């Protein structure tokens, strides 16, 4: 499996087209259903899932596609995959329904159980974050494309933590080391929160709640190529396509992989 600028460019074009489809649905009345895990799904999720699956399959017929909306594939089948696309057609469905603009298309290419290419595309905000192993991480807008550089956190200022809600912020406060200072910002879409960490707008994103591997794969390579890190609550890497369940453990995304995150968070590990 060879990573090339041509492959990245083609995947970006597919992400942009998927975003255009989301915008079309965004300005129409939505039909919202509830999935078996009690999360919402709209016709936009389902349409864009099919669109991405078809386009990525046409791009690389040798690579399977695993989508949040069609993920009922047993590990006995998946564990034969050396390389596959992992997608979330609409990350931030709740924000899409509420018309907050904070949603994104997530596309990742996973090779030998590690993400090696990732795209986080926000069609309403006009921002696209992307990375490929060995090629760096970038933020693209209509005005410019710039490389995301590694950075070191300043321990003399409050640690900026991004979370999804005020309730999540209170939950996170309960596991913070009281000897440090913190500030919180609220934002939708797991992918966009991770992108803001990679960009340096936030220092870390912590999620104490259910997510899928499709929520973190693109973020993982984006952070890896910009000097960041993702840990579970035992400060170990996340895994991909190695368990029957595709549900992630709770995790921390940090913008500085050299920072001593274990000094900040007090988890009660079994």
Helix (H, G, I), strand (E, B) or coil at 206: strand
Lookup: tokens for 82: 């050396």
Question: What is the reported pLDDT for 40?
Answer: 85
Evaluate whether 224 touches 256 at the Cβ level (below 8 Å): no
The string of pLDDT tens digits covering residues 184-207 is: 999 989 999 999 999 999 999 999
Could you give the C-alpha distances from 247 to 18, 174, 222, 243, 250, in angstroms and in order?
Answer: 24, 23, 20, 9, 10
Is 154 a known ligand-binding residue?
A: no
Strand ranges across the sheet with 145-147: 65-67, 83-91, 104-111, 114-122, 127-132, 136-140, 145-147
Is 92 a known ligand-binding residue?
A: yes
Weakly modelled stretches of the chain, pLDDT under 50: 269-270
Question: What is the reported pLDDT for 187?
Answer: 94
pTM: 0.95
* C-alpha to C-alpha distance for 207 and 62, rounded to whole angstroms: 34
Is 220 a known ligand-binding residue?
A: no
What the chain holds in terms of domains, given with CATH numbers, is 5-147 (3.30.540.10), 159-263 (3.40.190.80)
Is 215 a known ligand-binding residue?
A: yes
**Beta strand pairing call for 65-67 and 40-42:** unpaired
Is 232 a known ligand-binding residue?
A: no
Question: What is the reported pLDDT for 240?
Answer: 97
Q: What does the radius of gyration of the chain's CA atoms come to, in whole angstroms? A: 18
Question: What is the reported pLDDT for 125?
Answer: 96
Could you give the C-alpha distances from 82 to 11, 85, 156, in angstroms and in order?
Answer: 19, 11, 44
* C-alpha to C-alpha distance for 117 and 89, rounded to whole angstroms: 16
Cα within 13 Å of Cα(137), Cβ side: 27
Question: What is the reported pLDDT for 156?
Answer: 87
Residue 170: CB partners within 8 Å, gap ≥ 6? none
Exposed / middle / buried, residue 219 (Cβ in 10 Å: 0-12, 13-18, 19+): buried
Count other C-beta atoms under 10 Å from residue 128's C-beta: 22
Buried b (16+ CB within 10 A) or exposed e, 60-78: beebbbbbbbeeeeeeeeb
Is 22 a known ligand-binding residue?
A: no
Q: How far apart are the first and last CA of the chain?
A: 39
The string of pLDDT tens digits covering residues 67-108 is: 999 888 999 999 999 999 999 999 999 999 999 999 999 999
Question: What is the reported pLDDT for 222?
Answer: 98
Is 37 a known ligand-binding residue?
A: no
* C-alpha to C-alpha distance for 154 and 34, rounded to whole angstroms: 43
DSSP string, 40-106: EEEHHHHHHHHHHHHHHHHH-TTS-EEETTB----HHHHTT-SEEEEEEEEE-HHHHHHT-S--EEE
Question: What is the reported pLDDT for 56?
Answer: 98
Question: What is the reported pLDDT for 270?
Answer: 43
């Amino acid at each position: 499996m060879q990573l090339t600028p041509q492959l990245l460019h083609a995947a970006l074009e597919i992400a942009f087209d998927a975003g255009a489809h989301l915008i079309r649905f965004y300005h129409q009345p939505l039909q919202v259903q509830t999935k078996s895990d009690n999360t919402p799904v709209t016709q936009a999720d389902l349409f864009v899932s099919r669109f991405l699956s078809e386009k990525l399959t046409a791009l690389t017929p040798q690579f399977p596609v695993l989508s949040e909306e069609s993920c009922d594939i047993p590990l006995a089948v998946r564990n034969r995959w050396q390389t596959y696309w992992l997608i979330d057609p609409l990350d931030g469905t709740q924000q899409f329904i509420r018309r907050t603009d904070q949603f994104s298309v997530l596309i990742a290419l996973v090779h030998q159980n590690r993400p090696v290419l990732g795209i986080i595309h926000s069609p309403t905000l006009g921002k696209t974050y992307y990375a490929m192993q060995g090629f760096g991480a970038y933020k693209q807008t209509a005005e410019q494309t710039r490389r995301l550089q590694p950075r070191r956190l300043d321990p003399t200022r409050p640690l900026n933590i991004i979370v999804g809600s005020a309730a999540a912020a209170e939950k996170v406060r309960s596991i913070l080391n009281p000897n440090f200072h913190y500030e919180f910002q609220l934002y939708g879409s797991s992918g966009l929160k991770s992108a803001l960490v990679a960009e340096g707008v936030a220092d870390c994103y912590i999620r104490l709640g259910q997510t899928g591997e499709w929520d973190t794969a693109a973020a993982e390579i984006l952070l890896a190529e910009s000097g960041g890190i993702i840990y579970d609550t035992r400060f170990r890497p996340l895994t991909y396509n190695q368990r029957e369940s595709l549900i992630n453990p709770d995790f921390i995304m940090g913008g500085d992989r050299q920072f001593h995150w274990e000094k900040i968070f007090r988890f009660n590990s079994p």
